[in-house]
Amino acid sequence: MDLSTTYLGLELKNPLVPSGGPLQKDLKNIKAMEDAGASAVVLWSLFEEQITHEQLELHHHTSVHSESFAEATTYFPEQSEYHVGPEEYLEHIRKAKEAVDIPIIASLNGKSAGGWIDYAQKIEQAGADAIELNIYKMATDSSKTSAEVEKDYIDIVKSVKASVKIPLAVKLHPFFTSITNISKELVEAGADGLVLFNRFYQPDIDLENLEVIPNVLLSTPMAMRLPLRWVAILHGKVKADLAATSGIYTEKDVLKMLMAGANVTMMMSSLLKFGIPHLADVLGKLKFWMEVNEYESVEQMRGSMSYQNVADPSQFERANYMKVLNSYR
């Protein structure tokens, strides 16, 4: 049985890839992911904004009170070197590459145009096999049109594509008016793959303290329905690999995504919840299911139930309660 798949031009031994998350900050966990059968690993995102913030914060706090008082012209020892750039992240890529044989996919969230390019190049130089662009821009400015917002995304992809040779994936959020169109545009701009979908911190309100608390909740199995639909719709429509992420807990979820058209399936919430060995469990069960159901390869089933390949593609379009009721009748 052939579990292999390709993603972003990378030959992967199976379609199970841990998506970017905190576990990967420890090299031991990346090794454990490989040992559990992961075919590639996505790292957490390098945030340009965070790097900038850390530099400014360090500079501010180590200098703001200096030269104010005769007895203490400074309050901190001078350090000849600070690791305030992306070095730590880049070093992690290098070490991960040394530690495991599977591809390492870095993730980048830039802020400035220069930052996207600069950090993407540094990531490439550090040895990453591919880059996932974690682009998100909350469209809170009411004067900015959808087209302008989308153009920002496309410009970023174009500029990064032009500056690195390694493949690019774009992690999309599901809040575009036309996901199919933006997907097509991003692929034309240079994306080799699309990751569906990005999950954001969502605000909550603390009634006790009247404060807004942003946090991220682990995805639940129900969350997979959203990427399932769009993987199925985009399969065959865009010339890019598709990665499905959100709510993938079991081998059945993996199978469904593959059938919908995904090249790889990415999981993190389930690993956080059940531990890294859970990946081996899913892989084992995936093989077992394929054996029982006499599938020869992942390739064979990929997209077999995509929008293009199902008998009634309108099932993927149904979006509201009335239609479901009607269909029941």
Partner 1 sequence: MERKKVTIDGNEAAGYVAYHTNEVCAIYPITPSSPMGEWSDQWASEQKKNIWGTIPLVSELQSEGGASGSVHGALQTGALTTTFTASQGLLLMIPNMYKIAGELTATVFHVTARSIAAQALSIFGDHSDVMATRQTGFAMICSNSVQEVMDFALIAQAATLESRIPFLHFFDGFRTSHEVMKIEQLTVEDMRAMIDDELVLAHRKRGLTPDAPVMRGTAQNPDVYFQGRETVNKFYAECPAIVQKQMDKFAGIVGRQYHLFDYVGAPDAERIIILMGSGAEAVDETVQYLINKEEKVGVIKVRLYRPFSIEHFINALPKTTKSIAVLDRTKEPGAGDPLYLDIVNAISEQFNDGVLPFAYPKIVGGRYGLSSKEFTPGMVKAVYDELKKDRPKNHFVIGINEDVMHSSLEYDAAFTVEAPQTFKGKFYGLGADGTVGANKNSIKIIGEGTDNYAQGYFVYDSKKSGSTTTSHLRFGPKELKSTYLIDKANFIASHQQFFLEKMDMLKDAIPGATFLLNTQEPADKVWDTLPEKIQRDLVNKKMKFFIIDAYKVANDTGMGARINTIMQTCFFAISNIFPKEEAIALIKNSVKKTYGAKGEKIVEMNFNAIDQTLANLHEVEVPATVTSKIQFMPYVSGNVPDFVRDVTAVMIAGEGDSLPVSKMPVDGTYPTGTSKFEKRNIALEVPVWDADTCIQCNKCVIVCPHATIRAKIYDESLLANKPETFKAVKFKAKDFGDNLMYSLQVAVEDCTGCGICIDVCPAKNKKEVKLKAINMAEQLPLRETERANWDFFESLPLYDRKKLNPAQVKDSQFLEPLFEFSGACSGCGETPYVKLVSQLFGDRAVIANATGCSSIYGGNLPTTPWSKNAEGRGPAWSNSLFEDNAEFGYGFRLAINKHNEQAKEYLQELSAEIGGELVEELMNAVQTDEVGIYEQRERVAVLKQKLNDYKTTNSASPKSSEVEHLLSLADYLVKKSVWIMGGDGWAYDIGYGGLDHVLASGANVNILVLDTEVYSNTGGQASKSTPMGAVAKFAASGKVMGKKDLGLIAMSYGNVYVAKIAMGANDAQTVRAILEAEAYDGPSLIIAYSHCIAHGINMETAMKNQKAAVDSGHWPLYRYNPLLSAEGKNPFKLESKAPKIPLKDYTYMETRYKMLTKSHPHQAEILMELAQEGVKKKFHYYEQLAALKDDNEEVK
User: Is 117 near partner 1 (CB under 8 A)?
Assistant: no
Stretch that binds partner 1, among 9-17, 18-26, 79-87, 266-274 (CB under 8 A): 79-87
- 25 is an interface residue for partner 1 by CB under 8 A: no
Distance, in Å, from the CA atom of 230 to the CA atom of 196, rounded to the nearest integer, reads 8
Cα 146 off chain centre by: 23
Size of the site for partner 1 (CB under 8 A): 37
Closest CA to 116 of 164, 71, 178: 164
Binding mask 196-225 for partner 1 (x = CB under 8 A): --------------xx--------------
- Write the DSSP assignment of 111-146 as a string of letters: SSHHHHHHHHHHHHHHT-SEEEEE-------TTS-H
Asked if residue 81 binds partner 1 (CB under 8 A), the reply is: yes
Q: SS3 string of 253-316?
A: HHHHHHHHCCCEEEECHHHHHHCCHHHHHHHHHHHHHHHHCCCCEHHHHCCCCCCCCCCCCHHH
Where does this chain touch partner 1 (CB under 8 A) — which range of 20-28, 35-43, 81-89, 182-190? 81-89
**Which residue's CB is nearer to partner 1, number 115 or number 247?**
115
Q: What is the dihedral of CA 309, 239, 39, 169, to 10 degrees?
A: -130
Number of continuous H segments (helices) and E segments (strands) in the chain: 13, 12
Least distance (Å) between residue 207 CB and partner 1: 11
CB atoms within 10 A of CB 250: 18
Q: Which is nearer to partner 1, 7 or 119 (CB)?
A: 119
Least spacing, CB of residue 67 vs partner 1, in Å: 4
Give dist(CA 263, CA 196) in Å, integer.
11
Binding to partner 1 by residue 75, rule CB under 8 A? yes
- Site membership for partner 1, residue 140 (CB under 8 A): no
Contact code string over 29-58 relative to partner 1, x by CB under 8 A: ----------------------xx-xxxxx
113 touches partner 1 (CB under 8 A): no
Minimum gap (Å) between residue 227 Cβ and partner 1? 33
Residues at the site binding partner 1, with contacts judged by CB under 8 A: 51-52, 54-85, 88, 210-211
